[in-house]
Amino acid sequence: MTDRSEYPSPAILLCDDSRQERLALARWLDSRAYQVHQADDGRSALQILRERRVDLVLLDLNMPRVDGFGVLEYLQEHRKALPVILLSGMPPERIQTGISRLTSHALPPLLFKPIDPDQLLSVVELALAGGLNVESTATDAPETHTSDHASDRAPR
């Protein structure tokens, strides 16, 4: 039998300024055996990205100090291979405006809040398996760009 401790759990950086949403998602991911690093703003996320092993980033777009687009810009320049899943409650027009700031207009998968935990788990597993197409653009709308917004399905 293989010792599971030889293979560390995937490390996910969860960056969201909403404490309630961040803690709920962190508990939910932790219960599925993921190691979760938490950041409440973009500046903290950048520090974690420089100091710790991270296999996947779950990134809110609307945050103080450094917003999600600023973090995404850093990732596109320094960690291109790191999978990212965007989380947002912003209207699509504001997202389009933020994308125009990026040097690469490629948009990682986007899940709208409130987050459907089953959909999140599917996208996380796909991302960690290397199956996400990070070259899709904002005008290409992969199925991961949608959510049914059912508030009763948010992780608790």
- Cα distances (Å, whole numbers) of residue 156 to 22, 68, 122: 10, 23, 18
Query: Is residue 66 within 8 Å of residue 42, measured between CB atoms?
Result: yes
Give residue-wise pLDDT tens across range 97-127.
777 777 666 678 999 999 998 999 999 999 9
Q: Where are the domains of the chain?
A: 9-153
User: pTM for the whole thing?
Assistant: 0.79
Options 1.10.3720.10, 3.40.50.2300, 1.10.10.1100, 3.40.50.1820; CATH for 9-153 is 3.40.50.2300
The strand pairing partners of 57, in sequence order, are 13, 84
> Is residue 2 over pLDDT 90?
no
Type and span of the H or E element at 39: strand 35-39
Rg, the chain, Cα only: 15
What per-residue confidence (pLDDT) applies to 136? 39
Q: How many other C-beta atoms can be found within 10 angstroms of the C-beta atom of residue 84?
A: 23
